[in-house]
Amino acid sequence: MQIREFLELVLLASIWGASFIFTRTATPEFGPISLITLRAGLASLILLPFVCNRAAIRQLTQHWRGILVVGLTNTAIPFCLFSYSLLHIGAGYASVMNATAPMFGALIGWLWLKQRLSGLAVLGLLIGFMGVSVLSTAQAAAFDTLSILPTLATLVATALYGYAGCFTKQYLSDVKPMALAAGSLFAATICLVPLNIWFMPDTLPSAKSWGDAIALGVLCTALAYLMYFRLIASVGPSNALTVAYLIPAFGIMWGIILLNETFTPLMWLGVILVICGVLLVTGVLKSLADKRRLKSKPAH
């Protein structure tokens, strides 16, 4: 990975980390469903022109049922759940909870797809969920409330991300990633529009909230997806996926800088446990150790 590509990766992580800030500030005036309808709608309008070719359209029409499932489980429902939870919890906390998605993906893959879980992966699951427990306890103490429902909402959302990943691998592996992204965002919008009629805000949101919502759809979703797929093309999927490990750092940083959020020592302990758990589950630590071992071997 070149320096320029690494800087793009960091920029992408900072943009996705900022999505928790924009969601946190815009949700009180829009409400979760209206905000996510706008987010998904704007993003799909920007991305759909990129897949207006015969091959992509054929894939979208052939796999519309599967794309609808992904639209619901990877966008509509989890985005709304995070939006709801951010009415009650900090943006930094939510960004860390979001990082547990690979853990749920590994667990669901083991239960459903019969994928093997190594001993390190099982250890990672235990450490990661211990971190979630520590974080939840620390969050409750900091906000002087149990925050049970918001925390459960984030866990259901990340479990749905994990399910969507397994579903995609099982049924939609031949669909081009850009077509899947644009199609699933459009499907999510179609599903949310009828609900939005019932949950529209009573008063017109302020100009600031509109700005936050537009930034969420255009910058943190459409542009971020385009950057992500560009990175996949230039550095490969495995390197591009490392952006997930940087997002919590930026979510926490933006929360502290922009929203004056505080992180107690117990919260930091939870963050460390969650990140360590994710690194073990995804095999990143093992991969790094293997590479180091190969480099240290003398040449014959």
- Tens of pLDDT along 172-197? 888 888 899 999 999 999 999 999 98
As a whole number of Å, the end-to-end CA separation of the chain is 28
What pLDDT score was predicted for residue 140?
65
Give the residue from 37, 41, 71 showing the smallest Cα distance to 161: 71
Res 290: pLDDT: 63
pLDDT of residue 16: 93
pLDDT at 275: 85
Helix (H) or strand (E) holding 42: helix 32-47
Domain boundaries, the chain: 3-115+155-261
Residue type, position 193, single letter: V
- Output the pLDDT for position 146: 54
DSSP 203-251: SPPPHHHHHHHHHHHIIIIIIHHHHHHHHHHHH-HHHHTTHHHHHHHHH
Q: Cβ(71)–Cβ(129) under 8 Å?
A: no
CA 257 to chain centre: 21
pLDDT beneath 50, residues of the chain: 300
Say how many CA atoms lie within 13 Å of 298 toward its Cβ: 1
pLDDT at 143: 57
Q: How far apart are CA 12 and CA 229, in angstroms?
A: 11
CA 173 and chain centroid, separation: 20
**Confidence (pTM):** 0.87
The per-residue pLDDT for 48 is 94
Candidates 95, 93, 99, 100; CA nearest to 141 is: 93
- If you compute the radius of gyration of the chain from its CA atoms, what whole number of angstroms results? 19
- Confidence (pLDDT) at 96: 87
